[in-house]
Amino acid sequence: MTNILKNYDKAELKRLDNAHHMHPFTDHKGLEGEGGSRMIVRADGCYLYDIDGEKILDGMSGLWCTNVGYGRKELTEVAAEQMNELPYYNTFFKTSTPAAALLAAKVASLLPDDMNHVFFSGSGSEANDTNLRMARHFWQLEGKPNKKIIISRNNAYHGSTIAGASLGGMSAMHKQAGLEISGIEHVQQPYWFKEGVGMDEDEFGLVAAKAVEDKILEVGADNVAAFIGEPVQGAGGVIIPPKTYWAEINRICEQYDILLICDEVICGFGRTGNWFGHQTLGIKPDIVTMAKGLSSGYLPISASGVGDRVYNTLYKKGGEFYHGYTYSGHPVAAAVALRNIEIIEREGLVEKVRNETGPYLAQQLATLNDHPIVGQTRTLGLLGAIEITNDKAAHTRFEPEGRAGTICRDNFFARNVVMRACGDVMVCAPPLIIDKAEIDHLVATARECLDATAKELGVM
């Protein structure tokens, strides 16, 4: 621990955390009853170390974000260098910084040829707030002010600000705080395992895409600004759409003249075996949301990649766009993100995911398909999911829904491996540096946890 933390013993740290720290997405009453949080004090490579000295394999890259792994000294060094030279300045008032300019150019070089501009924010939620404003302002400038509706999907995740949570389709979030804001519509998700039972996957992909077209026709194309979607719905349970889905979404957006916002917060920067998920799945975006892997989580930074069509209208027809954040293009975060991309390139991590570790994760997870409570395993690059079911043919869940996933997640934690439960789907997204031996350990632990879960559910 750092010198400042060495003044506190672990019991005191836990007491202070329980007494004062409000955690995200947490039942605090339940947490306190369990004795409080597990205190993580350091990390290296694919591993975390807690305050008790336990070594933990991080199968979730923190929160889908530490793509280059932990303990990268060159990232901490470049942060220190930038802090010593220019710790902060804004990008308002006709000013910029070298780090922000270089990062914008680098990110643009990784995006499609018709996407040459980048707007920086501090988180994925802020970037999607930006995209909402940008899409509506675009149509206003185009002389079509009624085009305000954003179409999203049930069970999508686009952040936890009011706009981000409204764009998302998480019903539990919508029930709190008077969400959602007006002008956002939700349609069927392309979740074959749960919603397409008995259908051919490709057929179901067309059905799920048609739900978008049906909504456009219902509300009127002249009222729809954009469709927003993650290439793969991460927090929804690593929902990989059927192959027919995105090609049809491209057609629909083009036919009805609707912007396509591709939320790459999870799928970006190598996760799917290409720099971006839209490259892997053939999506044609107008705006791209980025965060997480942009800096591998070392510092908060996000971005919106903006296509030339949108940019030309916003900045050549519209003049000043009254939007921005104090930390837009923060020089230290930008410098770290730039070096992070250099590491990904230098070590060939995108190619490694595409050609080596991604296929290996798919192969190894598939060995779990014979388990009595596993209905399906699926992967794309280093995104993986295990569907827990009480009926392999019907794809139904144990009652109450979500209990099996929680039991399985806790079994993982007890064995010092992190996988996440999204309802009754166990998901993983390990650092892009993971090796085959670590994948073997992840999958072997998964089998142990599934066995333990099945026993607790009375199946084995």
Does residue 180 sit within a domain?
yes
Residues 361 and 220 in one domain: no
Q: Which domain holds residue 441?
A: 38-68+348-456
Shared-domain flag, residues 64 and 84:
no
Walk along the chain (460 residues) in steps of 10 and give the mean pLDDT of each run: 70 88 81 82 97 96 98 98 97 95 98 98 97 97 97 97 93 78 95 97 98 98 98 98 98 98 98 98 98 98 98 88 94 98 98 98 98 98 98 97 97 98 98 98 98 95
Asked whether 121 and 330 are in contact (CB, 8 A), the reply is no
Q: Assess whether 331 and 359 both reside in one domain.
A: no
DSSP letters of 272-318? TSSSSHHHHHT---SEEEE-GGGTTTSS--EEEEEEHHHHIIIIIIS
CATH of the domain at 324: 3.40.640.10
pLDDT value, residue 259 = 98
276 CB neighbour count, 10 Å cutoff: 26
In a domain, 120, yes or no: yes
212 and 323 share a domain? Answer: yes
Q: Specify if 172 maps to a domain.
A: yes
Residues 276 and 354 in one domain: no
Task: Identify each DSSP E strand in 113-257 by its residue range.
Answer: 115-121, 149-153, 184-187, 224-229
- The encoded tokens of residue 9 equal 């013993």
Is the CB of residue 283 less than 8 Å from the CB of residue 250? yes
**Are residue 261 and residue 409 in the same domain, yes or no?**
no
- Give pLDDT, residue 5: 67
Same domain, 217 and 298: yes
Q: What pLDDT is recorded for position 360?
A: 98
Q: Which of 346, 370, 400 is the last residue of a domain?
A: 346
Is 15 a domain residue?
no
Residue owning tokens 């995108």: 350
6 located within any domain: no
Residue 36 confidence (pLDDT): 80
Q: Give the tokens for residue 338.
A: 């730039």
Question: Is residue 1 a part of any domain in this protein?
Answer: no
Residue 3 is assigned to a structural domain of this protein: no
174 and 307 both lie in a single domain: yes
pTM equals: 0.96
Q: Based on the domain organization, do 58 and 117 belong to the same domain? A: no
Domain end call among 319, 346, 373: 346
- In terms of domains, do 323 and 395 share one? no
| Same-domain pairing of 151 and 226 | yes
pLDDT of residue 174: 87
Listed residues 284, 311, 346: the one ending a domain? 346
Compute the distance between CA of residue 435 and CA of residue 357 in angstroms, rounded to an integer: 7
CATH number for position 438: 3.90.1150.10
The domain total for the chain is: 2
Residue 21 lies in a domain: no
Q: Is 434 strand, coil or helix?
A: coil
Contact 233, 153 (CB under 8 A): yes
Strand, coil or helix: what is 256?
A: coil
pLDDT at 2: 63
Residues 126 and 220 in one domain: yes
Q: What pLDDT, on a 0 to 100 scale, did the predictor assign at position 3?
A: 63
